[in-house]
Chain A
Amino acid sequence: MSARYGMVIDLDRCTGCGSCMVACASENNVAPLARATARTGLTPMLVRKASNGMTGAARREVFIPIACMHCEEETPCVKVCPQQAVEVDKGTGIVMQMPQRCLGCRYCMTACPYHARYFNWWDPVWPAGMEKSLNPGVAVRMRGVVEKCNLCHARLHAAKEKAAGAGRREIDLADYVPACVEACPTGAIHFGNLADRSDPVSQEARSPEAFRFLTRLGTEPKVYYKSKEAWVRELAESASGSGARTGKATLEIRSEEVTHG
């Protein structure tokens, strides 16, 4: 049976510590980029900040971990890729980026509504000897290609291999836990099979507290968020901008998103 892997991220439980970001980079052999900035960096998992737009004691902030949303329908990056370097996997629903096939045109980066794709501006370089600490399950990408969250496919490989070794057809979901999910110190990121209606994550995704970002685009992302607080849920269709200016709940703007002035 084909699975649809997805996540539900409980924003009420995110403290914005950044463990998921570091664990993700370590798992996926992202090089330490000495010269990178927010514009040129490589953060397949990125924790962003949003506020309710108020000031003083009434101000509230929330942290929003953003990785690839694994859009199910009309997947924007798949539609624009001239190389077929990205596809929605039929068996898992994972939007899979193949860096070796990528020619680096970066159409997909422009197309992605979530800014979840990153470009390798430099050859990956580690300090002498540190290549021994690389995760053997993930090939290091070269300069000039785009990459993004592949839902820790190395861990999916390992789970598949373990299942086959034990003579099972289906993987045990306990063996397939993405690095960010494993790293989260508050257990805010829940990972599971959305196609399986008995899966607690799939049930959580259908709860009234759950929401997704930019559903108006019709891309059916498979990463859900949830919060008990209404102003956080209002962020779902908002664009990023300066909350202080609008007085409304807004996502904090990032330098690469400034397109004017």
Chain B
Amino acid sequence: MKVTRRDLLFWGAGAAAGLIVTPVPWKILDDTSIWSQNWPWIPQAARGPVEVKQSACTLCPQGCGLRVRMAAGWPVGVAGVSSHPVSRGALCPLAFGAHQLNWHPLRLKSVLHRGTASSWPNAQAALAKAQKEGPVVIIDGYPGRAASSVMEAFAEKKRGEYRVVFSPETKSLLPYESWSKVPASALGYDLENAHTIVSFGAPLLDGWGTPGRFTRLWAERAADRTDPELRLIQVEATLSRTASRAWQWIPIRDGSEAALAAGLARVLLENQLVQTRGPLPALSLADAAGQTGLTEDAIRDLARTMIAQRPVVAVANRENPAVAALNVVLGAVGTAGGIVRKTKTARPYSSAETALPSARAVVIDASVPWDYVPQTDAEVFRFAAWDGGGSKADWLLPAPGFLEELKDVPTPPASATESYAIAPSLTKSLHETHGAAQFLASIDSALPTHEQIIHARCQNLFRLREGNLYAQEITPLAKIESAQKLEDQLSKGAVWMGTPSKSGMIRCERKEWPAFTAAIPAETWSESWATPVLPPLAPKLYQESSLREPPTRRTA
């Protein structure tokens, strides 16, 4: 039988007609639509039980409480803890994307020795050798932790020194340390009891201290600008975020904060508006006016406004002795609503930003900001979870990332009350990482580990029987049954907070008005994030919107 073209056409028409009454076209259409709605290359979230755990943020020393949503064992979102006495439910904008940091492309995954891949045993051998040959200097950016104690002990044993890179808040307290011999780490700003705050460029609403502490206080007592219970006066060259939300903004010339402080002190002292007596600043009111760009009357007005609603305290953005001296004039040192002493136990630290002693090796902890460059010829061991780029370190050692390691959270700098928390590790390490303390303890087995120190600290705290433990509810520490119970609670995200410090005398011995120092521009979150990299979602703030200035590229 011969198959003709006509047969083929008939057959084809029949097949087509038949196909319509089969599932073939309809099913393929349907399946294709399902496939195309969920392209296989679009990532999907992991399936698994969702649970909420509590920890604390350890990316900077401000000790914010974290509520972490976990799915299938990984963090999928962070939020603040509203009952947290330190951070009061708030976080900085960057923390909301911090749970993605561990997978950041700049994450350090393995040991690097002068740019080439090496290993942990090599690094260990190198430091073990170095510590036999000479002193070891250790640099910490977050003093007071259990890990800091390990580093301090190691440096002491190895005839080296333990140095600290201070936070801007601690730096602003350093002048009081040199005048009163009370360590800056024992001092704090009692903002909760102040009624007027004069900020000399301190970004109070934008990355100063624990974010929730002042922003909450401001929202409750200062945001209503018509007649605020707490007057916030912002002295700053530009209309910053804090300035635009302040009760008053005093625009002055950039860097003339010290001159204004001197001018204000002169008005207060000369007109006997305050009870204190002290050395008069060398600067005349006319010169202060000239330098700041304000009129003499404006400075006089500001001086009177400052003391109209007391207690008043001045806050500097960095180390600014003139602003500190103004506080002494205002009688704000050692009084409620001013500079208070929160603890008797703290000790002074030496700054890492002054000349380092000669050493065989320098170990830099992961908490040290990436823009700190040690001035030394020694072999540098730098710990970091993320690569900040342009490192001069001989050894780059991967440290645990966000929520990967058990840490403790001592009192944040500048806070007025002591606190203690534990940040339990919530996720497993993505890479083989070690913290500096852990590494040092592995070299000298006589040193206690930071876990042992945390345990001992919990026992000491338990014996103190002071303050309250903030968990689901607030329990006085005296009512906690055992040290173990306390440690268990802390490990689940509870926070201990001491009783607010009673104001006590802090005697500031000064013979003369401090020498003039130019103020350093304030740093805000986008510029001074403690870790070298920003969370992957942070560009929403400066790239996809014009809310913030892009961070200046760090080149160490």
Query: Known contacts A17-B92, A37-B543: does B537 contact A32 (CB below 8 Å)?
Result: yes
Q: B544 and A57: CB pair below 8 A?
A: no
Q: A127 and B103: CB pair below 8 A?
A: yes
From A15, A30, A123, A183, B79 is in contact (CB under 8 Å) with: A183
- In the complex, what residues of B have CB within 8 A of residue A220's CB? none
- In the complex, what residues of B have CB within 8 A of residue A10's CB? 223
Q: A133 and B548: CB pair below 8 A?
A: no
- In the complex, what residues of A have CB within 8 A of residue B218's CB? 15, 186
Total contacting residues, chain B, CB less than 8 A: 70
From A129, A140, A187, A188, B44 is in contact (CB under 8 Å) with: A140
Is the CB of B181 closer than 8 A to any CB of chain A? no
For residues 111 through 155 of chain A, which have their beta carbon under 8 Å from a beta carbon of chain B? 123-142
Choose the segment among B194-202, B245-253, B335-343 that binds chain A (4+ C-beta atoms closer than 8 Å): B245-253
From B96, B224, B225, B239, A19 is in contact (CB under 8 Å) with: B96
Q: A131 and B43: CB pair below 8 A?
A: yes
Q: What is the bound-complex CA distance between A47 and B245, given in angstroms?
A: 15
Q: A185 and B45: CB pair below 8 A?
A: no
Q: A49 and B74: CB pair below 8 A?
A: no
Q: What is the bound-complex CA distance between A41 and B538, given in angstroms?
A: 12
- In the complex, what residues of B have CB within 8 A of residue A136's CB? 45-48, 50, 71-72, 76
Choose the segment among B119-127, B204-212, B269-277 that binds chain A (4+ C-beta atoms closer than 8 Å): B204-212
Q: A57 and B74: CB pair below 8 A?
A: no
Is the CB of A100 closer than 8 A to any CB of chain B? yes
Query: Known contacts A16-B241, A41-B544: does B46 contact A124 (CB below 8 Å)?
Result: no
Contact with B along A5-38 (1 / 0, CB 8 A): 0000010110111110111011101101110111
Is the CB of A254 closer than 8 A to any CB of chain B? yes
Is the CB of B219 closer than 8 A to any CB of chain A? yes
Q: What is the bound-complex CA distance between A142 and B39, given in angstroms?
A: 8
Q: What is the bound-complex CA distance between A33 and B417, given in angstroms?
A: 41
Is the CB of B104 closer than 8 A to any CB of chain A? yes
Choose the segment among A58-66, A87-95, A164-172 that binds chain B (4+ C-beta atoms closer than 8 Å): A58-66
- In the complex, what residues of B have CB within 8 A of residue A126's CB? 43, 100, 103, 536
For residues 46 through 93 of chain A, which have their beta carbon under 8 Å from a beta carbon of chain B? 46-49, 56-57, 59-63
- In the complex, what residues of B have CB within 8 A of residue A128's CB? 103
- In the complex, what residues of A have CB within 8 A of residue B226's CB? 228
Is the CB of A42 closer than 8 A to any CB of chain B? yes
Is the CB of B278 closer than 8 A to any CB of chain A? no
Q: What is the bound-complex CA distance between A62 and B243, given in angstroms?
A: 11
**Residue in A128, A134, A228 with the greatest tally of chain B CB atoms within 10 Å:** A134
Is the CB of A182 closer than 8 A to any CB of chain B? yes
Q: What is the bound-complex CA distance between A21 and B538, given in angstroms?
A: 9
Q: A185 and B206: CB pair below 8 A?
A: no
The residue in chain B whose Cβ has the minimal distance to the Cβ of A254 is B546
Q: A32 and B539: CB pair below 8 A?
A: yes
Is the CB of A43 closer than 8 A to any CB of chain B? yes
**Residue in B225, B540, B541 with the greatest tally of chain A CB atoms within 10 Å:** B540
Nearest Cβ on chain B to A60's Cβ, whole angstroms:
7
The residue in chain B whose Cβ has the minimal distance to the Cβ of A15 is B205
Nearest Cβ on chain A to B527's Cβ, whole angstroms:
14
Q: A133 and B103: CB pair below 8 A?
A: yes
Give A residues with C-beta under 8 Å from B.
10, 12-13, 15-19, 21-23, 25-27, 29-30, 32-34, 36-38, 40-43, 46-49, 56-57, 59-63, 100, 123-142, 179, 182-183, 185-188, 228-229, 252, 254
Sorted nearest first, the 10 A-B pairs with minimum C-beta distance are: A41-B544, A185-B90, A32-B536, A186-B219, A131-B43, A130-B103, A134-B45, A61-B244, A136-B45, A22-B96
Please name 15 pairs of A and B residues whose Cβ atoms are closer than 8 Å in the assembled complex, sorted by A.
A15-B206, A16-B547, A21-B547, A33-B544, A34-B539, A43-B545, A62-B244, A126-B100, A129-B103, A135-B69, A135-B76, A183-B80, A185-B80, A185-B212, A187-B216
Given A186-B219, A186-B223, 20 more A-B residue pairs with CB atoms under 8 Å apart are: A10-B223, A17-B93, A17-B525, A22-B94, A25-B537, A26-B100, A37-B543, A47-B545, A48-B547, A57-B250, A126-B103, A127-B104, A131-B43, A131-B44, A135-B45, A135-B76, A138-B45, A141-B42, A185-B90, A188-B219
Give B residues with C-beta under 8 Å from A.
37-39, 41-48, 50, 69, 71-72, 74-80, 89-94, 96-97, 99-100, 103-105, 205-206, 211-212, 215-216, 218-219, 223-226, 239, 241-242, 244-245, 249-251, 430, 525, 535-541, 543-548
